[in-house]
Structure 1
């Protein structure tokens, strides 16, 4: 998966860039292959906003945003939201089949 990290205001420290890439690579373990992912950092007042977009092969992308005073916390918040979205999506779209009543 190709991970693109960008910033809309200041430069991003390399430690935060590597942490975001490692954390997002952990989301890939959930079972679906993604074409590409984007991590966008922006600063608003005293908070850092981390927006993560995961592009799938088919269908709508998964998008999550995390806000925090520190970069790692913002990345963790966005990644946990993505994991929840992905699990909800999988539960909704997995076919369990029809359950039949056992004959007596």
Structure 2
């Protein structure tokens, strides 16, 4: 599955547009990560626990996006965008969306 943030892919022709597809996940912070984040806020540095959480969340949202596109018969998802939002205290959503298409194989 080709996944791109571009509207077109050089050298490939979009032959069918299948519509909007999306994937999301909502994750809560871990108490242990919060304690370490609090210490990092005092001393500075990367919040590695949160970096890992964000990476896992992006991967899960992308996987759900791809699954939805495959169900529609797409072989590519174009114009992919990510969004984040706070759902509740300590919980955030990662949302990814794009256009499911069929591109010519050359």
Is TM > 0.5 for Structure 1 vs Structure 2? no
Calculate the TM-score normalised by the size of structure 1.
0.35
Calculate the TM-score normalised by the size of structure 2.
0.34
The answer to which structure, 1 or 2, has the higher relative contact order (CA under 8 A, 6+ apart) is: 2
